[in-house]
Structure 1
Amino acid sequence: MHTQVAINHTKTEIIQLLLQLGLTSGGSFAIWRKPKSNTVEIVLNETAEAIKVDLNLENLEPGFIVHPFADQADKKAYFIKANKYFAFELDKQLASDELPEWAKVQLSNQETLSPEEIRELLINQTLISKVKTSKLSEDKTHFIQLVQEGIKAIQHNTLEKVVPARTKTISIPADFNLSCTLLSLMDSYPNAFINFFHLPHVGTWIGASPETLIETKGDIFTTMSLAGTQKATGDNPLKSVAWTQKEIEEQALVSRYIVSCFKKIRLREYEEHGPKTVLAGNLLHLRSDFKINMQETGFPELGSIMLGLLHPTSAVCGMPRREAHDFLQEFEGFDRSFFSGFIGPVNIQGSTSIYVNLRTATLHDNEATLYAGAGVTEDSDPEKEWEETELKCDIIGKFIQKPSV
C-alpha cells in the first residue's frame, strides 16, 4: 500500500496553497490576519454567485462580510459564507497531512501551482471585475479643487469636516507574487488587519487596514476613533511626535461622534481610553478606544446597532454625516466601491471583527487601483492633503510594485 509522505511547508507555500484553493474553486474566498495576531485564516464558499445578507451580525452564519462605502438600495452586504474554514499559525511549520480534509481532497486533483501560475490565474479572474474609477479620481488638479470646495463648505458652516478621496492606478509587475506580498504586509504591519478577498464578478481586493469599526467577543464590544495623520520620522517616532491643533480637533470630532451614537441609544456606561499616538505602517495617527460590556448594559445586539450608527464614520466621510456624504456624492466624481466601506470575519471562533476598508487596492486587468482619502478641516492645506494621500497609497502600492523576494 502506497503511503504519502508528509511534507513540511513554509508559510509562503501554505499561503500559495490557500490562494490556489480559492482561485481554483470558482467561488468567493477571503484570507486575513487580525492585528497583533499570528494566525492566518481563510473562508471559502465554492459558489460563483455572490451572496448578499442583512446586517444582523448576531444572526449570521460564520463568514466574511464585505460592504461598500455607499449604502446599497437593498441595505444588504456581500457575504462569503464559511463553507470551508482553515487557520494556521505563522510561526509554526505545517505538514501537508495537517491541512484540513477538504483542502487535501481539492489539492489531490491538482498540480501545485507556481507563483507565476497563481498570478496568471488571478489576472484571468480579475479581467471581469467591475472597477468604476474615472480620470477625475486620478487627477491632482481635481483633488486640489475638491479640497478647496470642502474648505469653502466648512467656512460657510455647511460642514465641520469632510474626507475627499482619490485613486492611483499602478501596473502589476510581471514578477508579482501574491503570497509574498501578503506575507510582506503581515511582517511590515503587525498592527493592521491584513486581508485579501475575491468575489467573482464583483471584485478582488488587498489591504492593510489600521481601523477597527466594531468588534464583539463574548460580552465585550469595542470600537475606536482614529484620525489625524503624519509621517513617522526619526528613531522613536512615537516619542518625538507633535500634533497640531487641526489634527487634535479632527480626532476629537470622531470621538464625539461615537459618544453621540451611545447617547442616541441611551447607552451611558462605557470606557474611553485615549487619545494616544499609534503607528500604522509609516504613518502616525491619534486613536481613542471605547469598550462596553453588552451583558451588563443590556445591549446584546450592540454590534449590529453600532454598525448601523457608525458607518460611514466621520473619519472616512465627514461631519455632519449626511451633509458630508451629499457633498462627496456631488463633488468627488467616482465610485469608491469597497474603499472606506467595511469588511471582516463574522461569528468566527466566537468573535466578530469588522474593519473600515482603508489602505486598500483593487486588482484588475494587470493593474492595481489604490484608494486614499484625507480629512479636510478649515485649516487644511490642499497641497499637504494631496501629499497625505500619496503616503497612504504607498502603504499598499510599494508592496505590489516591489519585485518578489
Structure 2
Amino acid sequence: MSLAKIKGHPLKGAFIHFIQEINGSTLFSYVEKVEAADPIRFYERGKEWYKGERFYFKDRDSEMTLAGLGSVHTIQHGPKKRFAGVESDWDALMKQASVHNPYDVYGTGPVAFGGFSFDPAQQEGEEWSRFAPSFFYVPELMMTVYGGETYVTVNMLCDGAESGPLFDYLEKRKKWILAGNDLQFDKEAVLEKIHTGDTSVWKKSVQSAIQAIESDDELKKVVLARKVTAVFDQAIEPDRVLRRLGEGQPDSFIFSIEAMDSCFLGASPERLVKKRNSTLLTTCLAGSIARGKTEEEDQRLEMELLTDDKNRIEHDYVVQMIRREMQSMCEEVMVPTEPIIMKVRDIQHLYTPVIGTADEHESILRFVERFHPTPALGGLPAQKALHVIRELEPMDRGFYAAPIGWMDYRKNGEFAVAIRSGLLVKNEAFLYAGCGVVPNSNPETELEETNMKLRPMLRAIGGSDE
C-alpha cells in the first residue's frame, strides 16, 4: 500500500512525515476521544486478535480504568536490574517517541503496564515461567475511562516508510473492537478438584516464624503465604473470571495481565503508590478481621479490630516504614494520627492513607522500588523477613503480593499490591493468600485468615459460593 492511500485521518499527515524521517524503530502514539464504552467489553472483544497480550486495571475508587490490547514493545529484566532496567528502557523509548495527545488526560498516551516479582531470590516455580522478574508491555490499542469520558490510545512501533499501511490497519481494528457485538464465552470450565496443600505443615511454618521472631530482637514480623491449586476439566476463561472479580469486588483494584497462555489477575484493596505530577498517594493497609453477617456484628468486629493490640502493632509497622520513606523522598508528607476502617466484601482492614508532595520529574518507579515490600507483605525488617520467607515458604510467589500497575510518558502512574490474586495457566488456577506473623500469632487463626482472603478468587473461578 502506498503512503498516498492512508490520507484522510487528521493525524495521517503527521504520521507520514514521521515515518519518512525516523531512523530505526520509534514509537508513534496518538489519542482520540470516543463515545462512552465498556473497557471490560473492549478487553473481551480484543481476544480474537490479542489473546495472550491483554491487560486490565481499574482503580479502587473506579475513577480510572485501563484496558490494553497487543504489545508493540516489551520490557523485561532479570533480578539485578528489575527496577532500574525498566526505567532506563522506558525512558529511552519515550525519548524518541512522537506523541499526539491533545487531551493530556491522566492515563492516556503511551503507557507501559506490568509488574514485578515479589522476590526474585525465591525458588522459581514452573507456573511463573512466562513472567520475568520485571515484565511490562506497551499496548497496541488501549482504552482509558477517566472522569466519565472515554479515550483510545493507538501505539505503533515504526521503522521507516514501509510502516505506512500500519495506520489504516490499526484504525480498522480499533473500529471493529469498539463497534462489534458482544462475544460469547466458551463453555465454562468445570472444577474437578482443589489442592489446599498440607495445612498442618503450613501451621508448623507459622510456628517456626514465631520462634524466629522470638529468638531475634530485630525481627518484628514475617508475612507467610500459602498456595491453593484448583484443577479444571479444560482451560479457564480469564475474561469470565475478570468479570466476576469486577462484579464481586467493586471497591477493589481489579487487574489482569496476560503472558501467552498465562494470566495473572486479582482484586486487591491495597494501593502501593499513585503519582500524578507532584502529588503522591500511598496506603498503609495492615490488620484485618472478617465482615459481620449483620450490621450489628459488622460494627462489633470493626471495634474489635480498632482496639486489637496485635493488629494495631502490625499496622503501625507499615505506617512507620511508609512515613520514613515518604519523608526521605517528598517535600511534604501528611499522615493521619489514627487508622480508619476499609471494608471490602469479605474482610475489613485498618487503613491509613498517606499523601506527599514530590518532585514531578521523579519516576513513579523510584517510589515503587523504595516501598516494596512493605511490612504488610514481607515483614520487618525487610531483608531479615525475606530470609525467613525463603526458608519457610516452599513456593514461588511470582507476582503475588508484588507491585502491579502502569506508568506513562510523564513519569506518572499507579501501582497496586497484587494480593487477593491468582495465576491461571491452561486448566489450573494457582491462588495465593498470606498473613502477618508476630510473637503472639496463633497458627490456627492465621490459617483461617488465609482462607478468608482466598474467597474472592475462589468465588471468581467458580470454586466457592460463599
What TM-score range do you get, normalising by the shorter chain? 0.7 to 0.9
Mapped to 1, the partners of 2:448 and 2:339 lie a distance apart of 24
The residue aligned with 2:391 is 330
Is 1:216 equivalent to 2:247 in the alignment?
Answer: no
In structure 1, which of residues 58, 79, 101 is the aligned counterpart of residue 136 of structure 2?
79
- Aligned identity (percent) is 22
What is the deviation of 1:62?
1.3
What is the deviation of 1:309?
1.6
What is the deviation of 1:306?
2.4
Letter in 2 for 1:391: M
SS at match of 1:301: coil
In structure 1, which of residues 372, 375, 382 is the aligned counterpart of residue 443 of structure 2?
382
Deviations 1:57-86 (A, max 9, x none): 98465121211101479x962102133211
The number of residues matched between the two structures is 367
Correspondence 1:200-279 to 2 at 5 A: 200=260, 203-233=262-292, 234-235=294-295, 239-240=299-300, 241=302, 242-243=304-305, 244-263=308-327, 265=328, 267=330, 269-273=332-336, 274-279=338-343
The answer on whether the counterparts of 2:206 and 2:443 sit within 8 Å (CA) in structure 1 is yes
Q: Which has the higher contact order (CA 8 A, sep 6+)?
A: 1
SS at match of 2:272: strand
In structure 2, which of residues 251, 254, 262 is the aligned counterpart of residue 191 of structure 1?
251
Mapped to 2, the partners of 1:355 and 1:371 lie a distance apart of 16
Cα 1:235–1:23, aligned 2, differ >3 Å: closer, same or farther? farther
The answer on whether the counterparts of 2:76 and 2:133 sit within 8 Å (CA) in structure 1 is no
The answer on whether the counterparts of 1:238 and 1:279 sit within 8 Å (CA) in structure 2 is no
The answer on whether the counterparts of 1:21 and 1:106 sit within 8 Å (CA) in structure 2 is no
What is the deviation of 1:93?
12
Mapped to 1, the partners of 2:63 and 2:48 lie a distance apart of 24
Deviates more, 1:344-353 or 1:276-285: 344-353
The answer on whether the counterparts of 1:28 and 1:48 sit within 8 Å (CA) in structure 2 is no
In structure 1, which of residues 37, 51, 56 is the aligned counterpart of residue 87 of structure 2?
56
Correspondence 1:122-141 to 2 at 5 A: 138-141=197-200
What is the deviation of 1:313?
1.3
Mapped to 2, the partners of 1:397 and 1:31 lie a distance apart of 20
Deviates more, 1:299-308 or 1:281-290: 299-308
SS at match of 2:332: coil
Is 1:37 equivalent to 2:100 in the alignment?
Answer: no
Deviates more, 1:203-212 or 1:394-403: 394-403
TM-score scaled to structure 2, two decimals?
A: 0.69
Gaps spanning 5+ residues in structure 2: where? 1-34, 95-109, 123-131, 152-169, 190-194
Cα 1:79–1:403, aligned 2, differ >3 Å: closer, same or farther? same
Gaps spanning 5+ residues in structure 1: where? 1-7, 95-99, 121-134
The residue aligned with 1:291 is 355
SS at match of 2:437: coil
Deviates more, 1:33-42 or 1:15-24: 15-24
The residue aligned with 2:118 is 69
Correspondence 1:88-127 to 2 at 5 A: 88=145, 101=171, 103-104=173-174, 113-116=183-186
What is the deviation of 1:47?
5.8
The residue aligned with 2:219 is 159
What is the deviation of 1:314?
1.0
Mapped to 2, the partners of 1:351 and 1:141 lie a distance apart of 45
Correspondence 1:314-353 to 2 at 5 A: 314-347=375-408, 351-353=412-414
Deviations 1:248-295 (A, max 9, x none): 1000011111123245x3756300124111112210110111111114
The residue aligned with 1:125 is none
Letter in 2 for 1:193: F
Deviations 1:86-114 (A, max 9, x none): 135899999xxxxx935346659x99742
TM-score scaled to structure 1, two decimals?
A: 0.79
What is the deviation of 1:185?
2.1
Letter in 1 for 2:114: I
Letter in 1 for 2:87: N
Deviations 1:296-340 (A, max 9, x none): xxx741633322221111111101100000111112111111111
